[in-house]
Amino acid sequence: MLPYVVLSALLPLLAFAQDGGISGPTSSAQAAGYSCDPKQCKLPNCNCASTSPPGGLQPSDVPQFIVFTADDAVQSYTLDSVNQFLAQRKNPNGCSIKMTYYTSLNYTNYTLVTDWYVAGNEIADHTMTHVGTPPADEVNGNLIALNALAGIPLSEIKGFRAPFLNYSVDTLKMLAQAQFTYDSSAAASIPVTDPDSDAYWPYTLDNGMANNCLTVPGTCQGQPKLPGFWEIPMYAFFDDRGVDGPHLMDPWLDTANGGSTVNDTATLEYMQKTFTAHYNGNRQPIGLYTHPIHLSTTYPGVNAPKSTIDMINAFLDWAQKQPNVWIVSSIQLLEWVRNPVPISQLNNFAPLKCTAPAIDASQHICNGIPQNEAGLLSHCAFSDFPFYTCYGCPSVQPSPANPNPSQDNSTGQARHRISANCSTPFWDPIAGKCLCTDNSCTFTDLSRPIGPNGANLTGGDTGSSFANGSASPSTTAYIPFNGAAPPPLLPYGAWPAIIIGCIGALLGTYGTVSRL
């Protein structure tokens, strides 16, 4: 429940920065005018906006979630970029990390969407052509095209993020009507240490919105009422200026503490400080909300600073050394909020488990698994952004007016779009049949019992080692399941503090890649 504090004056109304950043508080208790009765609004399908953990759990029983998301086009460059942060990591149950890709379609390579989804990641909607306050055809056309050309089951596309984080009250209504499960476009813009923090755990809109009340007209004060539809706030980091120094998306591209140049050391410091405030408080999630193209090392002409990449990995190394820290997709977070089991039961919590499709590696089938699909992809050679797909090239590029054009049959036999009752790795789009027809062949569980970082680490001394620029280990080191040493922490000298002109150089070089 929210404290019903009425502020004597509204906090200043501060607009979104152009890339979906924020520059100050986007809500206040008075602007929210929010009330919700937890006796009426109960999990799993109703949750009041609250800074306290769901289900009445004590913070000590609650995992600290780090939500990892990427926005825009899915390409080899952007997946390489995400992989440099996640591929080497595991969660405490020994499973590899899943994340959410808010996908827009311009410049997207559809087969890589299939691959990323089949690897266990969440594919969510970010409009077809990256427009703010999107019309319905941009949002729903994305579902149709992702289903037709990437084989993502419609029922699995559950989330939405607005390009530029620019949504309206109508956007939220439209999403609920199209049976999305959640939106994740609103900012949590006030630190968790502030009694009026807007860092709510994910909540349903049964009683309207409680975030961005100062910036999105027609929301809050009980509106819009969308029962069962969730908002997953995006949790800002705060630099030394506190509430006046928020950093929401790609914080590593911002200057910290009002400085004039990007300083990775300062960024790391405030990211750790904000994380610790969440961790030692009510354990609201924290998020790394990325536009991965900015950190690509493979896109021609983009040279992301190695120091920034190393800094982000240092942050994740540091966070993962602390007990009960999980890096998750938006939908994994939401599954836990809907059914908030204490950390002692996480070992058996299905949404965090790792499952792999039980498919014979020798099967030759275009299914999103690189070893199975080799040689089977169609190349759709459109001039502005060519792409590959398992599902047959469309005769024209998909667009909001025509998200699922008929197939171009001149290049061979028409392929079959995924059947509503088959899951992606089992669908053979060439034969048009499902390889799995009963439960015995679907997915095998590869999870391991919750590991030593959860059960044993105290994490007590991890707060100071980076601030001091040293990599001094805590007394009990993180021991991954495979027994391998954790990735080495960075020596101070490995990431020089100043990256002059980084953003400008990036902006100038990737004109053919979706910007935001």
Nearer to ligand NAG, 130 or 283 (CB): 130
As beta bridge partners, residue 380 has 387
Can you tell me the distance from the alpha carbon of 452 to that of 457, in angstroms, rounded to the nearest whole number? 7
CB of 196 to ligand NAG, least distance (A): 23
Residue 90's nearest CA partner among 316, 408, 254 is 316
Residue 330's nearest CA partner among 232, 228, 249 is 232
Nearer to ligand NAG, 206 or 310 (CB): 310
Joined tokens for residue 75:
């390409």
Cα–chain center distance at 138: 20
Joined tokens for residue 463:
């707060």
CB of 156 to ligand NAG, least distance (A): 16
Nearer to ligand NAG, 76 or 371 (CB): 76
Joined tokens for residue 177:
């009507």
Nearer to ligand NAG, 179 or 472 (CB): 472
Q: How crowded is residue 49: how many other Cβ atoms within 10 Å of its Cβ?
A: 26
CB of 47 to ligand NAG, least distance (A): 28
CB of 513 to ligand NAG, least distance (A): 10
Residues of the shown chain interacting with ligand NAG in the complex, contacts defined by CB under 6 A: 15-16, 75-76, 106, 109, 111-112, 129-130, 132-133, 164, 166, 259, 263, 265-266, 269, 377, 384, 388, 395, 397, 406-407, 409, 414, 419, 421-422, 434, 437, 452, 455-456, 464, 468, 470, 497-498
Give helix 136-150 / helix 110-118 axis angle, nearest 10°: 80
Nearer to ligand NAG, 15 or 507 (CB): 15
Nearer to ligand NAG, 421 or 482 (CB): 421
CB of 126 to ligand NAG, least distance (A): 12
Can you tell me the distance from the alpha carbon of 216 to that of 218, in angstroms, rounded to the nearest whole number? 6
Q: What angle do CA 338, 344, 350 make, to 5 degrees?
A: 45
CB of 5 to ligand NAG, least distance (A): 27
CB of 247 to ligand NAG, least distance (A): 14
As beta bridge partners, residue 508 has none
CB of 438 to ligand NAG, least distance (A): 8
Residue 137's nearest CA partner among 179, 111, 174, 186 is 174
Environment class of 260 (CB within 10 Å of its CB; exposed 0-12, middle 13-18, buried 19+) = exposed
Specify the DSSP class assigned to residue 343.
Answer: G
Contact, 73 vs 514, CB < 8 A?
yes
CB of 297 to ligand NAG, least distance (A): 14
Nearer to ligand NAG, 360 or 438 (CB): 438
Nearer to ligand NAG, 202 or 425 (CB): 425
Nearer to ligand NAG, 96 or 397 (CB): 397
As beta bridge partners, residue 246 has 238
- Please give the span between the terminal C-alpha atoms of the chain, in angstroms, as a whole number: 35
